[in-house]
Amino acid sequence: MELLAPAQPGAPPAKSKVVIARDDLLRGTGSTVDSRRMLALLDRAMQTLFDRDHANEAWSRLVRPGDKVGVKVNALGGRGLSSNLQLVEAICERLQEAGTKAGDIVVWDRDSDELERAGFHLSMGGNGVQCFGTDRVDYEQELVAYGSVGSRLSRILTQRCNVLINVPVLKDHDGAGVTIALKNMYGVIHNPNKYHPNGCNPYIADVNMLPEIRSRMRLTLCDATTAQYEGGPAYKPEYSWKENALLVSQDPVALDYTGWRIIERKRAEKGLKTLEAEGRAPHYIATAADAGHRLGTNDPRRIAVIEV
């Protein structure tokens, strides 16, 4: 895997890239995402993020043959507002072309029933891509801690993968303001309900600082094919819209900041108050960027948003 050269003394810090790839024809004339168009959209996003001419070259920056890759989806919203099945299939296809064995890929979330309700086909064992919830393997017995957080981690994370690809959904959250990349890691711990006070701040940032999560995280591929601007995290069709987009970055803080702005624009378009005015601005994003965390940047001057 290529390593980025260290910054030169006095050089301005590199901007965090967030790619927004859109395809207004992603669903054709129907309501279901077209698999071929999704694969092309994913390729365009990855090639832009890694500045490569071919998708395989981009994926080879992330994984090596022999890696065990966890694709952490969000299945809470059922078929209406969970990580898109066609997107996940496209990711798995490109991972295999980059040299990852199908059996070394696990698509997962906390609960197997939720995965099934979201349209995923459960598979545990054999040589194909694996798909199941933490409920099938449980959490580690020992607590791990950082800052205000002490949690047991999914054994899928600790025992089944050394590379983590985060596939959240772009949506509103009634407490945290938004739930995108950073909050999707609440699906990795055994006690997420404990960490919802104060808009989940600083808890979301602290969860993402747990070494077992941070050391494995390689990429966030946010599903914005269908997004939600109010009433989340459960699916509320009256507040959802077809954005037909992917947000892709290696900086989860920059991605969350960018996704937050998209949600705010949609709220303004619909005549709703800002999240700040509602008392639920996602302050955890700034915490994740602060000197005690440094998980990424929330400074728009240091974020390069590239729309393709």
Number of domains in the chain: 1
The residue-averaged pLDDT of 218-241 equals 97
Query: Would residue 240 count as lying in a domain?
Result: yes
What proportion of the chain, given as a percentage, has pLDDT over 90?
94
The residue-averaged pLDDT of 21-39 equals 92
136-145: pLDDT as tens digits: 999 999 999 9
pLDDT of residue 10: 57
Query: Considering Cα of 155, then 158, then 163, then 168, what sign does the dihedral take?
Result: positive
10 Å CB burial of residue 15 (0-12, 13-18, 19+) is: middle
Quickly count: other Cβ atoms within 10 Å of residue 117's Cβ: 15
pLDDT of residue 186: 98
pLDDT of residue 12: 66
| Domain CATH for 104 | 3.40.50
Residue 246 near residue 20 (C-beta atoms within 8 A): yes
Rounded CA-CA distance 103/64 in Å is 14
HSE-CB at 217 with a 13 A cutoff on CA atoms is 24
Query: Would residue 4 count as lying in a domain?
Result: no
83-128: pLDDT as tens digits: 999 999 999 999 999 999 999 999 999 999 999 999 999 999 999 9
pLDDT at 6 over 80: no
Query: Considering Cα of 286, then 291, then 297, then 299, what sign does the dihedral take?
Result: positive
Mean pLDDT of the residues in the chain: 95
Kindly indicate the confidence band of residue 28, based on its pLDDT and cuts at 50, 70 and 90: confident
CA 92 vs CA 244, 256, 259: distances in Å: 20, 24, 24
The residue-averaged pLDDT of 46-53 equals 97
User: Could you list the residue range(s) of the whole structural domain that residue 57 is in?
Assistant: 16-307
Nearest by Cα to 259 from 161, 162, 172, 141? 172
The vertex-9 CA angle with 7 and 11, nearest 5°, equals 65
144-179: pLDDT as tens digits: 999 999 999 999 999 999 999 999 999 999 999 999
Query: Would residue 294 count as lying in a domain?
Result: yes
Kindly indicate the confidence band of residue 2, based on its pLDDT and cuts at 50, 70 and 90: very low
| Helix pair 35-50, 85-97: axis angle to 10 deg | 60
Complete DSSP assignment for 184-253: GGGGGBS-GGGG-GGGGTTHHHHHHHSHHHHTTEEEEEEEEEEEESSS-SS--GGGEEEEEEEEEES-HH
Query: Would residue 33 count as lying in a domain?
Result: yes
pLDDT of residue 29: 75
10 Å CB burial of residue 170 (0-12, 13-18, 19+) is: buried
pLDDT of residue 9: 54
Largest CA distance in the chain: 53
Query: Would residue 290 count as lying in a domain?
Result: yes
* Collapsed DSSP state (helix, strand, coil) of residue 117: helix
Query: Would residue 5 count as lying in a domain?
Result: no
Kindly indicate the confidence band of residue 3, based on its pLDDT and cuts at 50, 70 and 90: very low
